[in-house]
Amino acid sequence: MKALQMTVLAMSLSALSSLTLGAGNPLSVHVLNLENGLPSPGVNVTLEKHVGQDWQPLAQGVTNEQGRIGELFPARQTFEAGQYRVVFKTGEYFKSAGRETFFPEIPVIFEVKNAGQHYHIPLLLSPYGFSTYRGS
């Protein structure tokens, strides 16, 4: 019974930490390795905004031990509607692990229509494939 209580407590704390991780920041990312089912720490990620015909750099971060960047949007800028691009530097990540990959980087372009919402971009990654979706 004690083990069950500890498991429930751990799951609750994990859920709470996920909620507070991006509290106050409108954008977070999470990278999971599909080969081993583990988070992908050390992935460089950039954020850009589409302005006119160009992409304007806004921020850069590196995933933590849980494969997350909880606050990717710059704190002193206003989050507004528009098109944004998150670029996951997967080639660097796999090279540091001594692995090859078909995708040296993975750009994910998304549109913000409601700047009052939180946007979460998960990336499910393997050396020769990936999947992404709008998370919560």
Instruction: Indicate the annotated binding residues.
Output: 30, 68, 133
Residue list for the binding site for substrate: 30, 68, 133
What is the per-residue DSSP string for the chain? -HHHHHHHHHHHHHHHHHHHHTTT-SEEEEEEETTTTEE-TT-EEEEEEEETTEEEEEEEEE--TTSEES--S-TTS---SEEEEEEE-HHHHHHHTT---S-S-EEEEEEES-TTS-EEEEEEEETTEEEE--B-
Query: What does the alpha-carbon distance between residue 88 and residue 125 come to, in Å, rounded to a whole number?
Result: 10
